[in-house]
Amino acid sequence: MILLGIAVIALIGVLYIAFTVEPRDIQVATRYVTFGDTNYYKGKWYSLYGFALLFVAIAIGHGALMLKFRALERRDFGMIFGFATMVILLIGLVYAANVIQQIAFI
């Protein structure tokens, strides 16, 4: 059940990014750093798809770890790990949404 929740949150994140990132001819802000001369660093628009790849990697990697904990008869630890994964994915989704809406296409 927790694996299904992780998959759903990751799918929502991937679909959100796929439908909100707009192809542009100009470079968009892809990174914000407080150090240095400029705070916003620009890159190609498709580099924002890295968020989607991160969601997929987290879902697959953490799902595999949960199954491994289940095989080792550590179901309780696997469930805690699964809930932590869902929290990480939700925080990542909020972060990606803020970057795409407020920073990337300014």
pLDDT of residue 1: 87
Compute φ and ψ for 30, nearest 5 degrees.
-115, -15
Better-predicted residue by pLDDT, 64 or 24: 64
Better-predicted residue by pLDDT, 98 or 23: 98
Better-predicted residue by pLDDT, 20 or 102: 20
pTM, two decimal places: 0.81
Task: Supply the Cα-derived Rg of the chain in whole angstroms.
Answer: 16
Q: Which two tokens stand for residue 85?
A: 């994964």
Inter-residue contact 29 to 41 (CB < 8 Å)? yes
| Domain assignments of the chain as residue spans, ordered by start | 2-104
pLDDT at 21 over 80: yes
Work out the average pLDDT over 15-44: 77
